[in-house]
Amino acid sequence: MKLQGNEIDRLNQRQIVKHKQQFEYISTQIPDIENILNKISAFNITIPSWALGTGSTRFGRFSGGGEPRNLEEKISDVGLIHALNKSSNSISLHIPWDIPENASSIKDFAAQFDLHFDAVNSNTFQDQSNQKLSYKYGSLHHVDIAVRQQAIDHNIEVINYGVQLGSKALSVWLSDGSNFPGQLNFRRSFENTLDSLQKIYYQLPDDWKIWIEYKPYEPNFYSTTIADWGQSHLLASKLGPKASTLVDLGHHLQGTNIEQIVSLLLMEGKLAGFHFNDSKYGDDDLTVGSINPYQLFLIFNELVEGMDAVGLDHANSLGWMIDASHNVKDPIEDLLQSVQAIKIAYTQALLVNKQALNEAQQNNDVVMAQEILQAAFRIDVSVLIAEASLRNGGALNPIECFRKLRLRENLIKERGINTIATGL
Residues 15, 8, 44, CA angle at the centre, nearest 5°? 100
Pick 113 or 173: Cβ nearer ligand AFD = 173
Contacts of 275 (CB under 8 A, 6+ apart): 213, 246, 247, 248, 249, 250, 251, 321, 322, 323
Q: How far is the CB of 121 from ligand AFD (least distance, A)?
A: 5
Pick 55 or 398: Cβ nearer ligand AFD = 55
424 binds, among Mn ion, ligand AFD, none (CB under 5 to 8 A by kind): ligand AFD
Pick 277 or 389: Cβ nearer ligand AFD = 277
Q: Annotate 153-217 with DSSP letters as a single string.
A: HHHHHHHHHHHHHT--EEEE----EESSTTS--HHHHHHHHHHHHHHHHTTS-TT-EEEEE--SS
Pick 126 or 358: Cβ nearer Mn ion = 126
> Using the rule CB under 5 A, which residue among 73, 323, 333, 334 binds Mn ion?
323
Q: How far is the CB of 173 from ligand AFD (least distance, A)?
A: 4
Q: How many CA atoms lie within 13 A of 81 on its CB side?
A: 33
Residue 248 makes contact with Mn ion by CB under 5 A: yes
Pick 43 or 173: Cβ nearer ligand AFD = 173
Pick 284 or 305: Cβ nearer ligand AFD = 284
Cβ atoms of 25 and 379 closer than 8 Å: no
Q: How far is the CB of 281 from Mn ion (least distance, A)?
A: 13
334 binds, among ligand AFD, Mn ion, none (CB under 5 to 8 A by kind): none
228 binds, among ligand AFD, Mn ion, none (CB under 5 to 8 A by kind): none
**Distance from C-alpha of 57 to C-alpha of 265, rounded to nearest angstrom:** 32
Q: How far is the CB of 218 from ligand AFD (least distance, A)?
A: 8
Phi/psi for 229 (5° steps) reads: -65, -25
99 binds, among Mn ion, ligand AFD, none (CB under 5 to 8 A by kind): none
Residue 283 makes contact with Mn ion by CB under 5 A: yes
Cβ atoms of 372 and 352 closer than 8 Å: yes
Q: Please work out the total of residues on this chain that contact Mn ion, with binding judged by CB under 5 A.
A: 4
Q: How far is the CB of 325 from ligand AFD (least distance, A)?
A: 7
Pick 213 or 387: Cβ nearer ligand AFD = 213
The one-letter amino acid at 75: I
Cβ atoms of 416 and 108 closer than 8 Å: no
Handedness of CA 44, 45, 48, 51 (dihedral sign): negative
> Using the rule CB under 5 A, which residue among 275, 314, 326, 343 binds Mn ion?
275
Residue 273 DSSP SS3: strand
Piece of 88-96, 150-158, 275-283, 368-376 that binds Mn ion (CB under 5 A): 275-283
Piece of 33-41, 242-250, 297-305, 313-321 that binds Mn ion (CB under 5 A): 242-250
Contacts of 111 (CB under 8 A, 6+ apart): none
Please give the residue ranges that form the binding site for ligand AFD (CB under 6 A).
50, 121, 173, 213, 248, 275, 283, 323, 424
Q: How far is the CB of 32 from ligand AFD (least distance, A)?
A: 36
E strand map for 302-351 = 319-322
Pick 51 or 360: Cβ nearer ligand AFD = 51
Q: How far is the CB of 116 from ligand AFD (least distance, A)?
A: 20
Q: Annotate 67-126 with DSSP letters as a single string.
A: ---SHHHHHHHHHHHHHHHS---EEE-BTTTT--SSHHHHHHHHHTTT-EE--EE---SS
**Distance from C-alpha of 283 to C-alpha of 220, rounded to nearest angstrom:** 13
